[in-house]
Chains A and B, each alone.
Chain A
Amino acid sequence: MGPIAINGLISANLNLVIAVFLGMGFGFVLEASGFSSARNIAGAFYGYNFVVVRVFFTAVIVTMVGLLYLSYFGWLNLSQIFILPTYLPSMITGSVIMGLGMIIGGFCPGTSFAAVAIGKIDALFFAIGLYIGIFIFAEVFPFLEKFYLSGYLGHITLTDLTGIKAGWWAFGFTVIALVAFWVTASIEKKVRKKIKEYKF
């Protein structure tokens, strides 16, 4: 039963080899979907290209539903998978800063790496920036530590927080995603008519 590495069904070293291949799958999809272009990513925030919304939300709902099926079949123990912890103040602040960084830089870390791989110099500069940003964080960490650890809610899921079952959340996200696909497609059509110089 999965997660198979955690349950000792594969060796630690094999798990690292598999990591390279899983990363390759992820990098391949990022590049093939067009995330290796900062203009494609930024497009979602100006209405001319919603590829980010389509790929991202499809991936989220596929994974959500997939996890529920794997658990239902008894193939995956959901209590053993990593659940991101919640630290309210620092994660809200961090997300605002990341959003600002994304609109200025045009990438997020994963997409910048996929873009570096095909020779985008702007992505390389973004990746160098990431390194500098994390270095600055590490250096000022002693001053931020208290804030960094404040508002800890634990490794909580939406179900822990609300009592509403995961299946309903998956259903809700699917509905939201479908509405978002439809709305963004119509916005994109209108905006693209106005933008003449954008080559797609």
Chain B
Amino acid sequence: METLPKPEKNKTKYINPYLGGVLMGVVLLVTIFISGRELGISGAVRDSVVATANVISPVAAKESTYYGKFLKNGHHPMDNWLDYEVLGVILGGLLSGILFKRIRKPFVERGPNVSKGRRLTAAVIGGILFGFGTRLGRGCTSGAALSGASTFAFGGVLVMVILFASAFAFAYFFRKLWI
């Protein structure tokens, strides 16, 4: 830590990670205590995809094997608990950014040896893969790995272990993006 160059401004001051973990655990506990649900994220992106399909072609969406599953109950596809929660996630991130003065003009964060274009291309490709994977995995790092493992669900532990192991196994091939 001492050998590293000091950042120009003190704008990346994060809270203690163990404190962060305890707070995250408490938020998850309260969520389970109140609603009995997981703290998911990717399900809300799915809802937005379903909502889009429903706007573009309501008839085709209702008949589709995938979209149809989420349009049966009649209410708006984005009127779900998860969608309200994810709205909060963005607001909470914004609040922390304001409080710790990390809001700045939009910029691209990247590794020292990667161009902006490559970083953004990689971000889209990574997002596409991750998005596709969440549907097979029944959730992402939040809803499946974190919430699942914390509630002793076998599926949650499975996703947690394999997701991190997979990222570690592929890390060597993508090191130019980060180091």
Contact = CB atoms under 8 A, between A and B. Distances in A.
Contacts of B178: 39, 42-43, 45-46, 106
Contacts of B174: 103-104
Interface string A139-158: 10110110010000101111
B57 to A, nearest CB: 12
A156 B35 CA distance: 20
A126 B110 CA distance: 13
A192 B88 contact: no
B109 A38 contact: yes
Interface in A100-127: 100-127
Contact of A156 (B27, B89, B127, B153): B153
Given A83-B153, A100-B166, A106 B123 contact: yes
Interface in B6-48: 7, 12, 14-15, 17-18, 20-39, 41-42, 45-46, 48
Nearest to A51: B17
A91 B138 contact: yes
Contacts of B134: 94, 98, 109, 130, 133-134
A135 B23 CA distance: 33
Contacts of A186: none
A128 B34 contact: no
| B12, B42, B129: residue with the most chain A Cβ atoms closer than 10 Å | B129
Contacts of B76: none
A19 B128 contact: no
Contacts of B14: 32-34, 51
A152 to B, nearest CB: 10
A29 interface: yes
Contact of B92 (A26, A57, A70, A142): A26
A82 interface: yes
Nearest to A139: B66
B142 A156 contact: no
Contacts of A126: 123-124, 126-127, 130
B127 A125 contact: yes
Given A27-B90, A96-B133, 9 more contacts: A2-B36, A26-B39, A26-B89, A29-B96, A34-B12, A95-B162, A106-B126, A114-B90, A133-B132
